[in-house]
Amino acid sequence: MHEDIEQLKDKFCITATDTELVRQAGTLLADFMPEFIEKWYAWLKQQEEFSLFFGSNSSNLKRVQEQQSIHWQSFFVAHINDNYIKERRHIGEVHARIGLPNDIYFAGMSIASQLLSDELWNIKPMPANIGAIANALTKHLFLDSYLVIDEIARIQNLRLSESHKAMMEMSTPVTPIWEGILLLPLLGILDSSRTQEIMNKSLSKISEERTKVFILDISGVASVDTAVANQLIKITKATQLMGCSAIISGISPAIARTIVELGVNIGEIKTTSTLRDAFEIALKLINVTVS
Amino acid sequence: MTIIKSEVLPLFTDDDLVKVRQAVRAWMIEQEFSLVTQTKMVTASSELGRNMVVYGGGGCARLECLNDFDRRGIRVIFEDQGPGIADISQALTDGFTTGDGLGLGLGLGGAKRLVNDFEIWSEPGHGTRVTITMWK
């Protein structure tokens, strides 16, 4: 993912002076860093998430601690470039993968910020520009956490849209129920993106299976408004163009009355109240008698 | 006439429309309206809500449960700050549509036929407000 680094710095009001100040803080805090990591993990060990994510796996913990030490080194070098951003986004990716809750991440960043600024204000002799250093540090910390959290959010959104797509596909189960007869039971709410999906899947299935009769069962559809009716009419017209008869079944009394009062003209589309009726008609259409 | 309870729902996307439909259905069920009446009200809400999302640039739906002496009612008010409707009587005519044929042009007139009370206010450039009520 490419980001405009200058724009990002601008947004977080990070100037070249700020970056200089963070580097200065890095020099001032260099000796403190091992103790900082130690103190930070002392805090983390008290959190219930610690045992959840590390358990008794001490080699894992050691690896993560090393990573963290490298992370802070690069933080204080403060070269905000593509590599810096990539590293932060990688942390986000790891957090998203292990499902680390946001509260523990932000609490951790807050503790880190406290530890660092406490140490900074204790340095003797106190640097004259201590306030400016602390400010610059805060800006950089916020940018750092933003990048991590944004990556987590991006991955979560990706997952969500993937599962939405999967659900769309699962919710249009076009099934051949007899040679030449295709059934599509529709459930729930029909919106435009779903009807589009239904149209695509049904039409390709009709040509694949050389279907003669297509039954669209809407007994599970809660309400049919004009937009939905229009889509249903379009689907049946398209199937008819492909040389396949279409039957809409499962028109409940409530939906029938609503369609009439809306004034929808369904034209020559064959409709039935039950799926059973539709199936009987379909069998007749393909000249099959079942005894 | 008193308003027993009310709720305002945002209406900008297809997902919002789903929530409005579900809420209208739930309120109708709570007041023990018949299945046919429920379906009519939900469908009318769906029509008007869709109009708002597609043509009105989105807005909000206000659901109200009414008590009028011996009868109960559900009222839904759809309000947007969209382009408005220039000629309301023309818009209520079947087959009228300004869109690309998303619906069948039966939306407004159809919705009016589905409910007991139907009120429309619109001012070009300012928005549209449609109020529908179903009595029991």
Query: Structurally, how many domains does chain B consist of?
Result: 1
**Residue-level pLDDT at A155:** 92
Q: 3.30.1490.20, 2.40.50.140, 3.30.750.24, 3.90.1150.10: which CATH number matches A175-285?
A: 3.30.750.24
* Residue A191 to residue B25, Cβ atoms within 8 A: no
Q: Which of A224, A226, A231 to mutate to test the interface with B (most CBs of B within 10 A)?
A: A226
Give B101's contacts in chain A (Cβ within 8 Å).
Answer: 230
**Residue-level pLDDT at B62:** 97
* ipTM here: 0.70
Q: Enumerate the CATH 3.30.750.24 domain ranges in chain A, comma separated.
A: 175-285
Q: Which two tokens stand for residue B17?
A: 């429309």
Question: Is the pLDDT at B96 greater than 90, yes or no?
Answer: no
**Residue-level pLDDT at B49:** 93
Q: How far apart are CA A117 and CA A138, in angstroms?
A: 9
Q: Is A28 helix (H, G, I), strand (E, B) or coil?
A: helix
Q: How far apart are CA A184 and CA A216, in angstroms?
A: 5
Torsion sign, CA atoms B24, B30, B35, B41: negative
Q: Enumerate the CATH 1.10.490.10 domain ranges in chain A, comma separated.
A: 5-166
pLDDT in tens, B32-91: 999 889 999 999 999 899 889 988 899 999 999 999 888 999 999 999 998 988 888 888
Q: How far apart are CA B106 and CA B51, in angstroms?
A: 11
Query: Could you confirm whether domain A5-166 is CATH 1.10.490.10?
Result: yes
Q: Measuring CA to CA, how many Å separate A28 from each of A24, A70, A76, A133, B58?
A: 6, 17, 10, 11, 55
Q: Of all residues in chain B, what percent carry a pLDDT higher than 90?
A: 59
CATH number for the domain spanning B41: value is 3.30.565.10
Domain that holds residue B61: 2-135
**Residue-level pLDDT at B91:** 82
Phi, psi of A272 (to 5 degrees): -140, 160
At B95, is the pLDDT very low, low, confident or very high (cuts 50, 70, 90)?
Answer: low
- Beta bridge mates, B128: B80, B122
Which stretches of chain A score pLDDT less than 50? Answer: none
Residue of A nearest to B15 (CA): A191
pLDDT in tens, B4-40: 999 999 999 888 998 999 999 999 999 999 988 999 9
Q: What DSSP string describes A87-149?
A: HHHHHHHHHHHHT--HHHHHHHHHHHHHHHHHHHHT-SSPPTTHHHHHHHHHHHHHHHHHHHH
CB A90 within 8 A of CB A152: no
**Residue-level pLDDT at A200:** 86
